[in-house]
Structures are given as C-alpha cells and as structure tokens.
C-alpha cells in the first residue's frame, strides 16, 4: 500500500511555505523553550513579589515583569503568524546608574535556606538575575536556529533587553552589598589590556566593493 504524501510536500519543495508554517524543526523546539522560559520567569517574579521589602527592588521587579509580558506577547504573535507582530519590539530602559563598587569585604558565607522565612531581598534579586540570564541564553540559541526572519529578528532584538535587565539587577545587588566585584591588580589589568594590538585593515580598492 502506497502512503499519501503530506499535502504541503509540494510547498516545501518549492519553498512556497505559508507564513505560519515558515519555521524549521530546531526553531520550533528552541522557541518553545523561549516561551516556556518567559512564562517561568514572569511566574517567578509574581511568586516572589509578595516577599519584597525594598521599594526600589519592587519597582525594578514590576517594570521588568511588565516589559517581559509585553515581549512575550510579541514573540508569541510572530511565532504563530510567521509575520510581523502588530506592535514593534521595544528597548528596555533601566533607572540604575552605571557605577559599580569594586573590591571584596568580609561577609558571611552563603548556604542553602532552611525555611521560607529566610526569603529576603538578596535572595529575590538573585532569583531574578538567574532567570534573566537563563532567558538570554535560550533566546540566543533560538535566534541562531530560527529560519523565520521575523522570529529571528524579534529574538535578536530581545537580547539587549535581557542584558540590560541583568545589568540593572546586578547594579542593585552591588549597591546593597549582595554582589561584590573583585578586581585584578592595576599592573595585571594594564598588561592584559596592552596584550593586543589593532588589526591592520587594508583600504578597499575602487570598484572592489561587492554590489548590494
């Protein structure tokens, strides 16, 4: 008995795939991870919001959560339609300054919590940071595997937002002593900075540019 070919077999051969089906297999799996991870991050923020003590951390959490939910909707929309979403992607803007305090000060060793009564702003901010960093990783993998040009662009546009959010959280942690940043001695830093030289780029000959 001869099996019938899938109805979209001819479409796949000719490249005329409907927009909503314009996704490769690897892309489908990786974007699934992105969307599931986004839900998990938003749920984590929601679950921990009732334990936040510092108004500044609460403000960061609320702003980031709202932005993530909007970005999730944009990603989901273009993933389902294969076309441009109904609204463009946005750029996340943090409120923190850019000044880190460097150096290590004596502090108590870290250890696992014994009960939920130990949940504090340090723990919450670390959960937020871990979630945002994990999102950046899966979005990078998904963007590199995406065959749909709109999904690839939306995921790529999201990466700077993940980096900005992680930076905002780490600055908050550093300001409150939750995250200490060691530095190398000045001599070692200078030696490492001077261990590379600029590349020599020969000038382009007239007419050698490839046509666009």
Residue-wise pLDDT tens digits, 155-173: 999 999 999 999 999 999 9
| CA–CA dist 127, 119 (Å, integer) | 11
Task: Please check whether residue 176 is in contact with residue 121, taking contact to mean a CB–CB distance below 8 angstroms.
Answer: yes
Distance of CA 98 to CAs 91, 101, 102, 181, 183, Å? Answer: 17, 10, 12, 14, 17
Q: What angle do CA 179, 116, 114 make, to 5 degrees?
A: 80
Closest CA to 147 of 60, 31, 61: 31
**Whether the predicted pLDDT of 29 surpasses 60:** yes
- How far is residue 171's CA from residue 11's CA, in Å, rounded to a whole number? 51
Q: Tell me the CA distances in angstroms from 203 to 200, 206, 207, 208, 209, one per residue in order.
A: 9, 9, 12, 10, 11
Q: Both tokens of residue 204?
A: 């382009």
175-200 mean pLDDT = 94
- Reported as a single tens digit per residue, the pLDDT across 47-71 is 999 999 999 999 999 999 999 999 9
Distance CA 102, CA 107 (A): 15
Q: Is the pTM of this model over 0.75?
A: yes
Q: Can you tell me the distance from the alpha carbon of 164 to that of 159, in angstroms, rounded to the nearest whole number?
A: 9
* Residue bearing the bigger pLDDT, 211 or 24: 24
| Residue 211, pLDDT score | 61
Q: Which domains does the chain have, with CATH numbers?
A: 17-95+120-175 (1.20.1260)
Two tokens, residue 111: 């250890």
101-121 as b/e: b if 16+ CB within 10 A:
eeeeeeeeeeeeeeeeeebeb
């Amino acid at each position: 008995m001869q099996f019938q070919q899938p109805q979209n077999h001819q479409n796949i051969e000719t490249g005329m795939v409907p927009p909503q089906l314009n996704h490769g297999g690897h892309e489908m799996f990786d974007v699934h991870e992105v969307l599931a991870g986004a839900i998990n991050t938003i749920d984590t923020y929601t679950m921990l919001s009732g334990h936040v003590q510092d108004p500044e951390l609460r403000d960061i959490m609320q702003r980031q959560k709202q932005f993530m939910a909007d970005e999730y909707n944009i990603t989901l929309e273009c993933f389902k339609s294969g076309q441009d979403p109904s609204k463009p992607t946005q750029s996340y803007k943090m409120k923190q300054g850019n000044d880190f305090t460097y150096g290590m000060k004596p502090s108590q060793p870290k250890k696992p919590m014994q009960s939920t009564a130990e949940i504090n702003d340090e723990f919450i901010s670390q959960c937020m940071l871990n979630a945002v960093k994990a999102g950046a990783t899966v979005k990078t993998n998904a963007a590199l595997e995406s065959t749909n040009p709109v999904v690839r662009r939306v995921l790529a546009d999201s990466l700077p937002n993940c980096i900005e959010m992680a930076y905002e959280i780490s600055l908050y942690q550093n300001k409150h002593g939750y995250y200490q940043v060691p530095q190398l001695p000045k001599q070692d830093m200078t030696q490492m900075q001077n261990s590379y030289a600029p590349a020599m780029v020969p000038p382009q000959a007239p007419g050698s540019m490839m046509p666009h």
